[in-house]
Amino acid sequence: MGLMGLLASNARTTGTASVKGVDMLSAPAATVRKFRGKEVAYIFQEPMTALNPVYTIGFQIVETLRIHFSMGPAAAKARAIELIDMVDIPDPAGSFDKYPHQLSGGQKQRAMIAQALACDPALLIADEPTTALDVTVQAEILDLMRNLRTKLNSGILLITHDMGVVADMADEILVMKDGLTVEHNTADNIFNHPQHEYTKQLLAAVPKLGSAPSRKLEVSTSAKPVLSLKDVTIEYPKRGRTPAFTAAKGISFEIYPGEILGLVGESGSGKTTVGRAAIGLLPIKSGSIVVSDIDISKPNGKILRQTRQHVGMVFQDPASSLNPRLPIGESIGEPLFLAKVAKGNELARRIEDLLDQVELPRTYRNRYPHELSGGQRQRVGIARALALNPEILIADEPTSALDVSIQARFLDLLQELQEKLRFACLFISHDIAVVEILAHRIAVMQHGSLVELGDRDQILRAPKDPYTQKLLAAVPVPDPAEQKRRREARQSAE
């Protein structure tokens, strides 16, 4: 943020941060503005909050181009569509006129990367650029950034907690803890000969595909599924000149008590759409959805209120799913209060119990969401989702914003809670190594269809569908030599 001149007005800086001989910490505001976007570009971590919601993504890319280059509207639009195509957003010409809310999380991230690459910057600062991306698109984006470095001789400052991405991209690595540099060395030395205890802890916390113990769930023949989808098709209706869009078609699966089903696939494949429809947040075009023996295929307000007492949802972005005006104690207690389960002293006691369950101090009940870290906010989301002791929990990308050490603790916590409370869980994620740790079965989605469904070990060890095989081959591993070998193999196959 300091390099971009984006620090808060009360921040005090010492030292220098020079880009092409200009100190970005002390240069006049006009000089910093001229450099920002053209010489130094920034890919922000949360595209949901960094893109302007009232402008189309095409307008936002065109704006960047026209500010820094003497381009006419038609030339800028043509270049913007080219950039949208470069980052692999479907239907580039149509997507040019879409607003941020009309794109999936991964597609928003790609739109922001297109905007950052628009001026071919000398320095690209990428702050967690791949957190919302599935592994196949992540591999393509990393190739794109690598090509930019080669073609323009650009420097890249990659800020990330994903050690697989670091292994794939970095020449040098600087490890930070509590605002201090604890280790600085070549990528090879950091991965193969780490010196500092914290670096060793970070590397040990990385989930590695193929290392999780086997997980099998014996389901009684008399057991009824908690969630059942049969031939479900979900369509977003026609709006103005935008035609109707089928986001998911012919989806069928069941989840039994105590079972975790991992739903994986690339961004825009329809994973979140299916998760939202499963709790009645989206209407379905055809098929049937049954939650705890309640058919919500054609729901009304009464049916939905009844259903939501059996279902908990952990949303992808904890920052935007918690009310910023409510202390977290009120956010956690709200489901209990609205369902008339508890009030007064009993409600206060239940809130404290839920904070204990997710390992947050009870004093945090009076804090507001902005006072918590991403990992702490995600725990609040889990506490709120578990408030009514749901029969099924739907977790939508709950670890995408967490660093590896917090993610490891979060996954342990989710496993402990699930084994103790025995709720069923639909775990939506693009991180297959995380899904391997938790899931009993895995369902794979591509372009709105379910392409493969089976036991975790069968899907990961002997995948049948070519798309599943491609997904597994693209999973980054925290080993620079192995990443290089896999990248070369991928490029030669293309």
Cα–Cα distance between 387 and 381 in angstroms, integer? 10
Res 150: pLDDT: 80
* Cβ-based burial of 47 (10 A; exposed 0-12, middle 13-18, buried ≥19): buried
Handedness of CA 417, 420, 425, 431 (dihedral sign): positive
At 421, list the tokens: 């409370």
Cite the beta strand spans of 352-487 per DSSP E. Answer: 392-396, 424-428, 441-446, 449-455
**Look-up: residue for tokens 């998911």?**
248
Amino acid at 131: T
Number of other CB atoms surrounding residue 137 within 10 Å: 23
Rounded to whole angstroms, what are the CA distances from 177 to 6, 161, 180, 183, 458?
22, 12, 5, 9, 39
Distance, first Cα to last Cα, the chain: 37
pLDDT of 99-108, one tens digit each?
998 887 778 8
Cα–Cα distance between 107 and 85 in angstroms, integer? 11
pLDDT of 200-214, one tens digit each?
988 887 777 766 676
**Farthest CA pair distance, the chain:** 73
> Would you state the CATH architecture of domain 18-204?
3-Layer(aba) Sandwich (3.40)
Low-confidence ranges of the chain (pLDDT < 50): none
Within the chain, all domains assigned CATH 3.40.50.300 are found at: 18-204, 227-480
Amino acid at 30: A
Res 330: pLDDT: 92
| Angle subtended at Cα 210 by Cα 209 and Cα 215, rounded to the nearest 5 degrees | 110
- Name, in order, each residue with C-beta under 8 angstroms of 153's C-beta and a sequence gap of 6 or more: none
pLDDT of 172-226, one tens digit each?
999 998 889 999 999 999 999 999 999 998 888 777 776 667 667 766 667 889 9
Cα–Cα distance between 248 and 108 in angstroms, integer? 19
In the DSSP assignment, the letter for residue 240 is T
- Name, in order, each residue with C-beta under 8 angstroms of 159's C-beta and a sequence gap of 6 or more: 125, 126, 127, 128
Helix, strand, coil share (%) of the chain residues, nearest 5: 45, 20, 40
Cα–Cα distance between 48 and 100 in angstroms, integer? 8
Which of 3.90.1300.10, 3.40.50.300, 1.10.645.10, 3.30.565.10 would CATH assign to domain 227-480?
A: 3.40.50.300
For β-strands 123-127 and 392-396, DSSP reports them as unpaired
Res 214: pLDDT: 65
Q: Which of 66, 67, 84 is nearest to 75 (CA)?
A: 66
Res 433: pLDDT: 81
Q: Which of 307, 401, 355, 366 is nearest to 49 (CA)?
A: 401
Q: In what helix (H) or strand (E) does residue 379 lie, and over which residues does it extend?
A: helix 374-385
